[in-house]
Amino acid sequence: MDEKRGAILAELPRLRRYARALVRDRDVADDLVQDCIEKALTRMEGWQSGDNPRRWLFTIMHNLFVDQLRRVKRRGVSVSYEETGGSALVTEPSQLNNIAAREVLQALQAIAPDRRSALVLVAVEGLTYAEAATVLGIPAGTVMSRIARGREELRKELEDASRRRTIRVVER
Partner 1 sequence: MTAEFTERDIHLALDGELPAERLNDFGAWLEANPDMKIKAARFDADRQRLQSALGPVAYEAVPGKLTEAILGNGSDLLGMSSWWRGAIAAGLIVAAAAGGYAVGVTGGPAGIARASDPVAERAVAAHRIYSAEKLHVVEVGADQKDHLIGWLSKRVGTTLQAPDLTPEGFSLVGGRLLPSGEKVAAQFMYQDYSGNRISLYVTQTAGSDETGFRLFENADARAFYWLDGGFGYAIAGAVPEATMEAVARAAYRQLLPGAAKS
Of 20-49, which residues contact partner 1 (CB under 8 A)?
20-28, 30, 33-34, 37-38, 41
Q: Which of 120, 133, 135, 136 binds partner 1 (CB under 8 A)?
A: 120
Q: 25 or 59: whose CB is closer to partner 1?
A: 25
Residue 76 binds to partner 1 (criterion: CB under 8 A): yes
Stretch that binds partner 1, among 46-54, 56-64, 79-87 (CB under 8 A): 79-87
What residue type is assigned to position 65 of the chain?
Answer: F
Asked if 32 and 65 touch (Cβ cutoff 8 Å), the reply is yes
Q: Which of 67, 102, 160, 163 binds partner 1 (CB under 8 A)?
A: 102
CA distance 107 to 82: 24
CA distance 31 to 13: 14
Count of Cβ atoms closer than 10 Å to residue 72 Cβ = 11
Count of Cβ atoms closer than 10 Å to residue 117 Cβ = 24
Q: Which of 42, 48, 49, 80 binds partner 1 (CB under 8 A)?
A: 80
Residue 98 binds to partner 1 (criterion: CB under 8 A): yes
25: DSSP letter: -
What residue type is assigned to position 154 of the chain?
Answer: L
Q: Which of 57, 61, 122, 136 binds partner 1 (CB under 8 A)?
A: 122
